[in-house]
Amino acid sequence: MDLFASLSTGTGYWNPLAWLLATVVAAVIVYLIWRRGESGYKKGTAQTTPFISGNPEPAKGMVHVRASNLYWGYLDALKGYYDLIVPAHTGVVNDYLLWYLGVTAALIIVVVVFV
Amino acid sequence: MNGFLMTNAPALLIMLPLIGAFVTPFIGRISPRVRSAWVILIMTLTTLTALLLASDVFLNGTQIYVFGAADPDLAIPPDSGGIPIRIIFTVDAMSALMQVIGAITGFAVLLYSISADRIHSGLESFYTLFLLMIAGIMGMVSTGDLFNFFVFLEILSISSAGLIAYRIDGGLAVEAALKYFVLSTIGAMVILIGIGIYYGEYNALNIAVIASRMQFTLLDQIALVLIIAALAMKCGSVPMHFWTPDAYSMAPSSITAMLVVASQASLYGLFRVVFTLYNVTLNAMTVGWIIIILGVLSMVVGVTMAIPQKNVKRLMAYHAISQTGYMLLGVGVGLAVLGNQPLMESFGYIAMEGGIFHIINHAMYKGLLFLTAGAIFFRIGTYNLNKMGGLGHSMKYTMIFFIIGALAIAGIPPLNGFASKLMIYESVFAFNPVLAVIAMVVSILTLASFVKVFHSIFMGPKLPEYETVQEAPVPMLIGMGVLAAIVILFGLFPQSVVNGLIAPAAHALADQSGYIAAVLGGA
């Protein structure tokens, strides 16, 4: 068995080791570019503190963007979808059972009637 | 000795965890350290047996084991009238693959659990149920007898329900376990009705015998629906997935990782029924499309429900539903073109291989992700993403393991999730391009969701409330490391995995006549 063989997907091939090699080459190029950059950068000085129009920097805990504040735009854009799908998850076992029995009934109709 | 082991490996695979389970409460009375050593010993032996059996099956073909027979290969006794009257385990490449998944995940989870769950009481019961869960999974994927399948399904459900409720958690865990148990029991009863229909029609419970006599009558059609609907519900397919986020989020993280494998055992049962029991006797296109639609619904609803979640384990549970959709999609496409050899050769087998490859990949990276969530809970005591942040400063190894799992589930190269998803994308595209596009969009949404989780947990400044947080204990890191290593290795050498494990499993699943011949000897 060839350990390094390309993955055959039926219509194409994928070789992760070739990809890895390309990534390493790209990383080396990035590193070489980075080395040509500004060398006067000093950690722990004013260069590394955020500039907030002269205002004092808030406490660390205050600047972390929490999970609820992420993707609000996505959720707002799909509000109609979520208004339908979220309430379906009632947390009530009777509803879970009804969904299961409903799907079973629907499948019986499809398989028995249409097959 | 080796010959004895190989011959009796299918029975040992059940016997070891069963004996281990029933002895654990007594061993536990000696000391916690001895109990841990005992459970690790049992799980190690079970894992070695599974690997040994799998190597034999992949080299020499399907192995059967007849319980109670003079010779374990004697499926049909001379005086039985040509009927296999005993319980028979039929371990083909697909079964062997599932055994390997159960054993490796179980082993890694146990290493993790010894450290993660040590602070809790009642650990004798915990590990007894854990080993019963392993026995249930191994039995489900090994047996060639439908009633026996039902029995192991029940063992798995009962032990899983007990473990989901283990932490009680103000009653929430018990409630989640109750929901799981009610649905599992009703599903199992419905499966039993389906099995009863086969028994009434064909006077047999053995899968090979029923498959050889299958007529696809009206009763067979009803039995088919009863069984696939129940198993689809058990594997968390939309719209029967509602129990999944409740149960996955309330169980201890080590158990959640095992629940993923338990769901996959149900998925295996579903595939076994449609491919081995019915195969081309059913209308493959219609039933294939039913499975495809269940898969697409699972992918889309799973990932979209994951994105707004605030509880990291509920979020991951919805992703587990979404990933199950990929497996259903890949294998469903294979089923839809079953019987059409040119299409099977063109993309059907690749689709099945992609779906089956995704089963093992998912067990590894999703197990890993649940373990990282557990490690975080172990240190900070919450699953609430809104309360997390900056943990990358103090839990660097856990963060690295999380990144590996998150990139794998999102299908980012060169990890294992990418390899199986690529096979699914390309083969499904040949069948229906729209399905492939949906699968790719779902992957993008998965990545978006895990970017949110990564940022919420690990990024940002070190928060004052987590100043003293330390890295997870070493045994937990080892458990995560085992799964992470497999995720990377399967990603770097995918074709070797496909050639060695996946393609034989896919072909064994599609080869109904081979399965029947292995039991009935070509009868």
Predicted pLDDT of residue B523: 46
Determine the Cα–Cα distance for residues A65 and B271; give it in Å rounded to an integer. Answer: 44
Q: Is A95's Cβ below 8 Å from some Cβ in B? A: yes
Predicted pLDDT of residue A1: 59
Closest alpha carbon to B425 in B368, B351, B480: B351
CA distance A82 to chain B (A): 8
CA distance B429 to chain A (A): 10
Vertex B292: Cα angle to B433 and B260 (nearest 5): 120
Listed in sequence order, the residues at least 6 apart from B343 whose beta carbon sits closer than 8 Å to its beta carbon are B337
CB contact (8 A) between residue A9 and residue B426: yes
Predicted pLDDT of residue A111: 92
Q: Rounded to the nearest 10 degrees, what angle do helices B123-142 and B93-116 cross at? A: 170
Predicted pLDDT of residue B242: 96
> Residue A13: which H helix or E strand, with range?
strand A13-14
Residues within 8 A of B (CB atoms), A 25-84 only: 59-61, 63-68, 70-71, 74-75, 78, 81-82
CA distance B28 to chain A (A): 36
Which residues from chain A sit within 8 angstroms of residue B385, using beta carbons? 66-68
Cis peptide before B414, with omega less than 30 degrees from 0? yes
Determine the Cα–Cα distance for residues B296 and B343; give it in Å rounded to an integer. Answer: 21
Three-state secondary-structure class, residue B88: strand
**Residue B261 near residue B323, CB atoms below 8 Å:** no
Size of interface A-B (CB pairs under 8 A): 177
Residues forming a β-bridge with A7: A14
- For residues B249-266, one letter each, b for 16 or more C-beta atoms within 10 angstroms of the residue's C-beta and e for the rest, the string is bbbbbbbbbbbbbbbbbb
CB contact (8 A) between residue A5 and residue B495: yes
pLDDT per residue of chain B (523 residues) written in tens, 0 to 9: 678 888 899 999 999 999 999 999 999 999 999 999 999 999 999 999 999 999 999 999 999 999 988 888 888 888 877 788 899 999 999 999 999 999 999 999 999 999 888 888 889 999 999 999 999 999 999 999 999 999 999 999 999 999 999 988 889 999 999 999 999 999 999 999 999 999 999 999 999 999 999 999 999 999 999 999 999 999 999 999 999 999 999 999 999 999 999 999 999 999 999 999 999 899 899 999 999 999 999 999 999 999 999 999 999 999 999 999 999 999 999 999 998 999 999 999 999 999 999 999 999 999 999 999 999 999 999 999 999 999 999 999 999 999 999 999 999 999 999 999 999 999 999 999 999 999 999 999 999 999 999 999 999 988 989 999 999 999 999 999 999 999 999 999 999 999 999 999 999 999 999 999 999 985 4
pLDDT in tens, B126-165: 999 999 999 999 999 999 999 999 999 999 999 999 999 9
Determine the Cα–Cα distance for residues A112 and B78; give it in Å rounded to an integer. Answer: 39
Residues forming a β-bridge with B311: B384
Q: Is A22's Cβ below 8 Å from some Cβ in B? A: no
What's the complex ipTM? 0.93
Q: Is A113's Cβ below 8 Å from some Cβ in B? A: no
CB contact (8 A) between residue A104 and residue B224: no
**Residue B59 near residue B15, CB atoms below 8 Å:** no
**Residue B469 near residue B395, CB atoms below 8 Å:** yes
CB contact (8 A) between residue A100 and residue B186: yes
Predicted pLDDT of residue A40: 79
pLDDT in tens, B187-212: 999 999 999 999 999 999 999 999 99
Mutate to test the interface with B, among A107, A109, A110, A113 (most CBs of B within 10 A): A107
The residue type found at B178 is: L
Which DSSP state fits A50? -
**Residue B38 near residue B20, CB atoms below 8 Å:** yes
Vertex B54: Cα angle to B51 and B59 (nearest 5): 125
Mutate to test the interface with B, among A1, A4, A6, A9 (most CBs of B within 10 A): A9
List of chain A residues with pLDDT < 70: 1, 115
Predicted pLDDT of residue B93: 97
Residues forming a β-bridge with B456: none
Determine the Cα–Cα distance for residues B437 and A66; give it in Å rounded to an integer. Answer: 31
CB atoms within 10 A of CB B478: 14
